[in-house]
Amino acid sequence: MLRDAPERGGLSKPRRTIEYTVTFDGSIDVNLIQIAILVTEDTAEKIESIRLFARPWPVVKLFRQFMENNLRPDPVPDAIWNLPATHAWR
């Protein structure tokens, strides 16, 4: 999808970007997990941003625990695993 996007943090000229979504359905311990990755490219076809969305939360939590257990102590900083405090996930 092509769209006009303003420069970050300002009132500059809009530029054209390309967005596409990659989806994945899988399972963890027979529980369905759905993941959507939104990729935004600039006009030079370089990736500008990647956003990942996953559901349902209880299964995403299992996925995070599995990944954390299998990636440590490799170069994944602790800050990556820390989630912001919120009541939305309760």
pLDDT, one tens digit per residue, over 9-32 is 555 556 677 899 999 999 988 999
Q: What angle do CA 30, 37, 88 make, to 5 degrees?
A: 70
Question: Which pair of structure tokens corresponds to residue 72?
Answer: 């440590």
> Is the per-residue pLDDT at 84 higher than 60?
yes
What are the counts of helices (DSSP H) followed by strands (DSSP E) for the chain?
2, 4
> Is the per-residue pLDDT at 1 higher than 70?
no
Question: Which pair of structure tokens corresponds to residue 81?
Answer: 């695993």
What's the pTM?
Answer: 0.61
Across all residues in the chain, what is the average pLDDT?
A: 78
Delimit the domains of the chain by residue range: 2-76
Query: Which CATH number describes the domain made up of 2-76?
Result: 3.30.1300
